[in-house]
Chain A
């Protein structure tokens, strides 16, 4: 018991020192807290696939009641905003090239006549394909409006209705998907670098030797180095979590305890990766560059931007070593789906395996890294 207390007090001394060194300078302190706020807000608003504002131009050569009604339906959505009314087809290229309009609707002169004759009336849609995914969703939006308009004319497919119900995200807002992912992703960005610099900084400044001659065991050093990064990571996650929950008001379905349990396991695994990089690096420059080199693929292959299932199989296999993939899954599923541990226990396995390899590796490297 006494020796346990002694071990504990040594670790506390180390953790205290690490935290002090981290937050001593106001600039460093700000750098660990403020970005979580700022980024959560910026990306919360900025990272959305949902169309909210589609500037369009119209070339209405029909100038009929039918065309006016169709355009009124378009304007009524609030999403489509008419930026220009064109008078000739030569003007189309101008507004699209200058990105004044994402799409141009061109209504032929015989539009109403053809409808009256029960013929099909072509509505020409020119899209700016520079961002093909926005263009694609704008097109399907227009398609839906046109279909509704057709239905009002009495056309349309016969007697079968698909009733949609979306679980977990009833309005299919992409922010609901993105933001819980950010709880894991944003904090990983900083904590991994934080952990990666922790030992490298001491090596560069010569203090690591002084640490190694103390009675601290590699395990104690490991815990002392890992805890502050983990705490900072969890603090950042908490900030982002609170912003999502109370600023963006995305309803939380699952248990906060399970969410934090997942976040802790995830943060421990990423700090393990960071510390391994740190133990391998001789200078801060190396630690920083190697962690950046790693972070890029981790982010891109996490499922934050594109679903893992869409990736080639080789890369899907590689993502098993990616803590962010599983950390993000856990957060999303607990937060949005209200998943229980029984639903998601599989997601913990890769994280635990990663932590169980990287942390001992780092501890071993502290003393045995050849200088």
Chain B
């Protein structure tokens, strides 16, 4: 015999797993199509930037100066103002969801402007608070700009006072482009989903179909089974990783400031953790129904909501932060954002890699235990 026993058995199992994976089109659909779909969605579909937010403008004061005051709303690409006859109509629009806000210039606007006490009312639909805040910012900005111009034109000199001016520099993402932080997060999401979805049924299915009973009474060792099940999906995950990296580089032009080697190694490590987590769920539940529900629950939503991807963990209570720290995704998310945007930061790399390695080891041992050859 040329190979040691375990190599031969491993190859036999590997061949079996690979065939099973390739034979079901749904595997490839999720393994390859889903990442592409996510790349496109994240790149083009999701944007936190408000564009053309509809705003109803009610000019109760029909004087030219009132008209001029809100004219500035029109010039921006962020707001789409629509002139409305009265407040009732505007409120109807707001209620129907056809306007995000109402700008109301009251009847006494020009009179009070003269006394330096003019008011403009802004009513916002607060349901989507982020949009509301953005709209508020732009409306304020447009009106302040006009007010400043008005003041300059009038030449009425305010008493000279010193003022603080904020000089702002956004490090790592000078333009404040949200794609730059969404794309590294996308890699985390893709690797999490691949792991959870593709591997979470692998062992449960064998329990349900009774194939493990036959397999157990052979010289096969549990570890051989685990690694044979992992390898084909590691390959799929690696392909997905490449797709994501290529998209990040050439489609979204996100800079990679850290080392590519470290990025690749860390990503493969996380992929392994993620696949192992799926396998562990599968082995633990021994039930496809439960495994699929669990996979759904522990992958997508936590990766979106709790890993620091969309929502910043700095804003959440300590307990929730603790829960977030339990997720491997959180650690990989921190690492990958740093690698992409900030560069090689030694302590971050070491800590994250150590935690992820620990997860990998613990999960291998735990999964192995679920595959102990026993029907008890």
Please list the residues of chain A having a beta carbon within 8 angstroms of any beta carbon in chain B.
Answer: 25, 27-28, 31-32, 35, 39, 42-43, 45-55, 70, 96-99, 102, 114-137, 139-140, 142-143, 146, 149-150, 153-155, 157-174, 176-177, 186, 189-190, 193-194, 197, 201, 204, 281, 283-286, 288-290, 292-293, 295-297, 299-301, 305-307, 309-312, 315, 329, 332-333, 336-337, 339, 343
Chain A residues contacting B150 (CB-CB under 8 Å) are 158
Among A54, A114, A135: residue with most chain B CB under 10 A: A135
Given that A27-B285, A53-B315, A158-B158 are known contacts, is A285 also in contact with B26, CB under 8 Å in the complex?
yes
In the assembled complex, B130 has its CB within 8 A of some CB on chain A: yes
The distance from the CB of B134 to the nearest CB of chain A, in whole angstroms, is 10
Instruction: Pick the most buried of B118, B173, B285, B295: most chain A CB atoms within 10 A of its CB.
Output: B173
Given A134-B312, A189-B301, verify A153-B161 contact (CB < 8 Å): yes
Q: Which residues of B contact A117 (CB under 8 A)?
A: 162
Interface SS of chain B = helix
Chain B residues in 8 Å Cβ range of A329: 97
Interface segment out of the listed B136-144, B213-221, B225-233, B237-245: B136-144
Fill in one digit per residue for B28-65: 1 if any A CB lies within 8 Å of its CB, else 0: 01100110011001101111111111000000000000
Flag whether B366 is at the interface (Cβ < 8 A): no
Give B303-328 interface residues, CB cut-off 8 Å to A. Answer: 304-306, 308, 310-317, 319-320, 323-324
7 contacts across the A-B interface (CB closer than 8 A) = A99-B338, A130-B172, A132-B177, A155-B158, A167-B123, A177-B128, A289-B198
Give min CB distance, B155 to chain A, whole Å: 12
A172 and B139 contact, Cβ closer than 8 Å, known pairs A125-B166, A164-B122? no
Is there contact, CB below 8 Å, between A48 and B94?
no
* Minimal Cβ-Cβ distance residue in A for B154: A158
Q: Which residue in B29, B41, B201 is a CB contact (below 8 Å) of A297?
A: B41
Q: A98-B345, A121-B163 are contacts. A293–B30 as well, Cβ < 8 Å?
A: yes
Cβ-closest 9 pairs across A and B: A169-B126, A129-B173, A159-B116, A166-B126, A115-B162, A289-B26, A155-B163, A129-B170, A134-B312
- Taking A115-B163, A295-B300 as known contacts, 14 extra A-B pairs with beta carbons closer than 8 A to each other, sorted by chain A number, are A27-B290, A28-B289, A28-B290, A46-B316, A118-B160, A124-B169, A129-B181, A130-B341, A132-B177, A162-B120, A172-B132, A174-B130, A193-B292, A315-B41
Residues from chain B with Cβ under 8 Å of A171 in the complex: 126
Does B77 touch A at the CB level, under 8 Å? Answer: no
Pick the contact of B162 from A153, A168, A290, A305 — CB < 8 Å? Answer: A153
Shortest Cβ distance from residue A219 to the other chain B in the assembled complex, whole angstroms: 25
Cross-chain contact B38 with A301 (CB below 8 angstroms) = no
Nearest A residue to B143 via CB reads A162
Contact B113 A333 (CB under 8 A): no
Q: Is B261 an interface residue, CB under 8 A from the partner?
A: no
B26: contacting residue among A54, A131, A290, A315, CB under 8 A: A290
Interchain CB contact (< 8 A) of A288 among B50, B126, B176, B292:
B292
User: Are B122 and A163 in contact (CB-based, < 8 A)?
Assistant: yes
State the B residues within 8 Å of A (CB). 24, 26-27, 29-30, 33-34, 37-38, 41-42, 44-53, 69, 94-97, 113, 115-133, 136-137, 139-140, 143-144, 147-148, 150-151, 156, 158-174, 176-178, 180-181, 193, 197-198, 201, 205, 208, 285, 287-290, 292-297, 300-301, 304-306, 308, 310-317, 319-320, 323-324, 334, 337-338, 341-343, 345, 347-348
Residue of A nearest to B205 (CB): A285
B120 touches A155 (CB 8 A): no
Q: How far is the CB of B261 from chain A (nearest CB, A)?
A: 20
Please, which residue of chain A has its CB at the minimum distance from the CB of B54?
A309
Chain B residues closer than 8 Å to A130, beta-carbon distance: 172-173, 181, 337-338, 341-342
Chain B minimum-CB-distance residue to A112: B162
Question: When chains A and B are docked, how far (Å) is the Cα of A343 from the Cα of B96?
Answer: 6
- CB of A315 within 8 A of CB of B44, answer yes
Q: Contacts A172-B129, A333-B127 hold; do A31 and B46 have CB atoms under 8 A apart?
A: no
Assembly CA distance A218 to B208 (angstroms): 27
Contact A136 B308, CB 8 Å, known A118-B162, A310-B48: no
Please, which residues of chain B bring their CB within 8 A of the CB of A48?
Answer: 311, 315-316
Contacts of B131 in A (CB 8 A): 307
Tell me whether A167 and B126 are in contact (CB under 8 A).
yes
Q: What is the bound-complex CA distance between A193 and B197, given in angstroms? A: 12
Residues of B within 8 A of A204 (CB): 208
CA distance A170 to B161 in the complex (A): 34
Residues of B within 8 A of A32 (CB): 293
Known A133-B178, A309-B53; contact A120-B169, beta-carbon cutoff 8 A: no
A43 vs B297: C-alpha distance when bound (angstroms):
12
Q: State in angstroms the CA–CA spacing of A293 and B38 once bound together.
A: 10
B176 in contact with A305 (CB, 8 Å): no
- Chain B residues contacting A159 (CB-CB under 8 Å) are 113, 115-118, 147
A159 to B150, CA, bound (A): 11
- B162, B310, B341, B347 pick with most chain A CB within 10 angstroms: B162
Instruction: List A contacts of B120 (CB < 8 A).
Output: 160-163
